[in-house]
Chain A
Amino acid sequence: MPLTLTVNKVTTTVDVSPDTPLLWVLRDVLNYTGTKYGCGMGLCGACTVLLDGKAVRSCMTRVSGAVGRAITTIEGLSPDGLHPLQVAWEAIDVPQCGYCQAGQIMSAAALLARTPHPTDAEIDTAMSGNLCRCGTYPRIRQAIHEAAGAHAAAQSEGGSPNADQS
């Protein structure tokens, strides 16, 4: 059945079963493949998108529940790829395999929107639903602090003092 969605500020109509998870509509119908499938049960956070600014797991969100709400995916986080989190992620070179990173960034974006200068504990609480098999957590913490402008806090934890020692 036709459903009207607003994804990254663009309104579009899709013809899918209303119980289809938003994830699969985004990925396979609308070609927003930045949002990733990881578990299908809301356990890993790879599919995280923003719904009216709040982080949700799109694998557990029926597409019908997203009608009339603002859906933001990694592709629409910023018009030019220059959201402070994206800039920090690149500067710190956070990703290893990179698969979970879109979900990590979307959870971090929701965190910074409500807590512009999070503490380590607030970061841990907000981010512990996003799994990373490669173990990029120290870099993610560092990048969130950097994006929040808290350089001093970033240096006090996570990364080694010898990051560029060679």
Chain B
Amino acid sequence: MQINRRSFLQMGALAGGGLALNLYQSPQAAAQGPGKPPDLTPQAFIQIAPDGIVTIMARASETGQGMRNMLPMLIAEELDVEWKDVRVQQADLNEKKYGLQFSGGSANTPAGWEPMRRVGAAGRELLITAAAQTWNVPATECTTQPGRVIHAGSGRSAGYGELAAKAAALPAPALESVKLKDPKDYRIIGHSQAGVDTHSIVTGKPVFGIDLKLPGMLYASIEKAPVFAGKVKTANLDVVKALPGVRHVLVIEGGITPAAFTPWEPGMEPGIAIVADTWWQAQQARKQLKVDWDLGPAAAQTSDGFRKRAGELLQAPPAKTLRKYGDVDAALKSSAKVVEATYEYPFIAHATMEPQGCTAHWKDGKLEMWTTSTLPVDGRGLVAKTLGIQESDITTHMVRGGGSFGRRLQNDYAVEAAWIAKRIDAPVKLLWSREDDVTHDPFRPGGTVGLKAGLDAQGKLTGWRHHLVTFGDEKNNAPGGGIGSDTYPSGFAPAYALYTSAQPLMLRCGAMRAPGDNAYCWVSQSFLDEMAHEAGRDPLEFQLELLSNKQAPWKSSGKDEVGDHEPTGASVLIPERFKGVLELVAEKSGWANRPKVAGRGMGIAAWFCHLGYFAEVADVSVDASNKVTVHHVWAAGDVGSQIINPQAAESMGFGGVIDGMSEMGQEITLVEGKIQQTNFHQHAILRMRQTPPIEVYWRKTDYAPTGLGEPTLPPILPAVSNAIFAATGKRIRTLPLQRSGFSWA
């Protein structure tokens, strides 16, 4: 089984903390080093009650991608039980027992596909062994039907519930030795299973981080400076302490020194924590705060200044060469036609529907916390370091989060809650207001890209010069602001150069769903569309030809900042898969016969990221006042041989498209270091009336299954902006749409 072997090796890399965690350059996680993956046992994940009800532990956090279904479904399939008899329970943080407990980088599917099925199969093997010993028959003569072990020869059978106690006491078989089902026999995988929390959600049960309540719990809110890392000089603390319901007012000194490069987890942001009997009282007290802030050097930052400096850097020789092959300057010089363009995309905020927060309880020198983090092992490490305690003194419960999109990979809110809990010696729930959440987000960094490409007399691409102006210092790019040296069309353009330059940024950035790719796809796929247009060719045909070029061999430089393009070199972009989704979406959308009508047009784009391939087509009209309506979207995805939970997978496709459309209208700007947007009226999410019908199609290929959180999103941005060009002849080179004179209808 070549596929299984390959995915098992992939899993090794992921579980070792190498590939997946490096995606986000998490220092704490990376510091763990590439250790041996833990030995997983079925006993850790599976409990079977005497009545046959099976409890399966969900090891990964859940923020909406369906991880509490997907991973347990893999176990249940191979255990051979009915899904209706399964109860899913969220595991606490314990990576020694459960392995990887990280939800990011669309990594749970590739990381869980093989080991979770093997855990289930090992559980089945234990139950068979228990039955065989009871009946004194060879285990090889026993089989299973869902929930039962059968010995056909003697006509005996026993329910899993009857065998569980005996099976649990047996030594677990080596996972690599267990036999897995033939996919054609799947009864759970590939069949839609509704979310295990759906009933609780639609009946209003307390399942989210914000819903947690402990006896004697107080509520906290934190006032932070209007400028990143600004410090408290003086404040009217005594006045605020006397306000109704207020129990504690604590000054947070913080641990951030503003510098050109702000790391992934820079330390606590300074501020004033107000702890009260209710959150509303804490919020009311905040309004009475009078703080004299030392705003620090970040107060000099403005978006206009960033734009001006980016323009200067584009004119200067690039600071770094990430990749160069062929003689790109010579190729451009000898081209029949050369096209130059500058693309610009803004900072944007995560704005998860549930604002950040965390509940923590300090008692007898130990901390218990309930966190929505999607990288809780990092959070525990940071809390231990900040509080000066051992990680073994921390119990971490993983609570459902109301969206993440990369936000909850960072653990600042958990550190704050833990810090407050230790200071007040009581259980406390910290909740950020929406305004806190938008203005103190770890933003998706903006960027400016200078592009230059050439065409020969036949309209074929000759060379591509790509200069990304990002943020950071001489050594490090802002988190989410690096670019992989193999980022498409690297490797396919006959001659190519990828350069970067960086300007300082005293602001925290992070990973936004499909980090890097959510911007780079828009830039490259828009400029490819430009080149096709300049060549007088169909953009689909132009791109298929590019993908047929002999690939320039790529090898890891060890400095791959984005990393999801497989720094192991095991799986670089496979052109047949990229072409496959393009061809499928073209067929489904009727691309070849698209109508040519003034004011209406279709755009196409595709991308490879996080091991998945997606192509999308948007049908768009633009009215006389440049209001944009998206009438229909078609999406085609290739994430390997198996769609594990089809209806949920399709929902992820819808979500990626809608989320990507939202991003096209969003921006975060700074004036004198202050974030200008505070809430949804200034950082809008797409509304139902603006949402087109979306069709999602799968192209099944003979590769191990990979994730859907990220790769569904990037292509929709250029699909829409290319469609706007088709409709109007106007090229969108600056996002958000409003900065190019367009807006959503």
Contact = CB atoms under 8 A, between A and B. Distances in A.
Contacts of A37: 210, 355, 431
A28 B219 contact: yes
Nearest to B435: A40
A13 B680 CA distance: 34
Contact of B680 (A44, A73, A91, A137): A44
Contacts of B352: 97, 99, 133
A28 B354 CA distance: 16
A75 B211 CA distance: 14
Given A130-B688, A133-B685, A135-B656, A43 B679 contact: yes
Given A99-B208, A138-B691, A163 B650 contact: yes
A31 B194 CA distance: 27
- Most central of B66, B219, B686 by chain A CB within 10 Å: B686
A28 B279 contact: yes
A100 B353 contact: yes
A122 to B, nearest CB: 11
A124 B688 CA distance: 6
A140 B681 contact: no
Contact of A125 (B63, B435, B689): B689
Contacts of A139: 651, 654
Contact of A33 (B213, B278, B695): B213
A139 to B, nearest CB: 6
Contact of B402 (A99, A161, A164, A165): A99
Given A21-B280, A133-B659, A93 B651 contact: yes
A78 to B, nearest CB: 8
Interface in A95-128: 95-102, 105, 123-125, 127-128
A164 B192 contact: yes
A20 B690 CA distance: 34
A65 interface: no
A163 B647 contact: yes
Nearest to A101: B201
- Most central of A131, A140, A166 by chain B CB within 10 Å: A166
Contacts of B210: 33, 36-37
Contacts of B202: 74, 81, 85-86, 89-90, 94-95, 101-102, 105
Contacts of B190: 166
B136 interface: no
Interface residue SS majority, chain A: loop
Contacts of B681: 41, 43
Interface size class of B (residues with CB under 8 A): 35 or more
Interface in B371-423: 400-405
A90 B654 CA distance: 18
A51 interface: no
Contacts, number: 219
Contact of B278 (A24, A41, A162): A24
Contact of B654 (A43, A129, A135, A157): A135
A29 interface: yes
Interface size class of A (residues with CB under 8 A): 35 or more
Contacts of A102: 201-202, 204
B204 A73 contact: yes
- Most central of A29, A85, A89, A160 by chain B CB within 10 Å: A160
Given A95-B195, A135-B657, A123 B213 contact: no
Interface in B15-67: 63-66
A166 B689 contact: no
B403 A133 contact: yes
Contacts of B403: 96-97, 99, 133-134
B130 interface: no
A39 interface: yes
A85 B433 CA distance: 30
Nearest to A32: B204
Given A28-B278, A132-B658, 19 more contacts: A24-B280, A32-B204, A38-B434, A43-B680, A44-B353, A74-B204, A81-B199, A93-B198, A96-B403, A97-B402, A99-B354, A101-B202, A124-B688, A134-B659, A135-B659, A135-B662, A158-B693, A162-B695, A165-B643
12 contacts: A17-B244, A24-B280, A28-B280, A33-B206, A39-B679, A44-B685, A75-B203, A93-B648, A98-B402, A132-B658, A135-B656, A166-B643
Interface of B: 63-66, 190-192, 194-195, 197-199, 201-208, 210-211, 213, 219, 244, 278-280, 351-355, 400-405, 431, 433-435, 642-643, 646-648, 650-652, 654-659, 662, 679-681, 685-691, 693-698
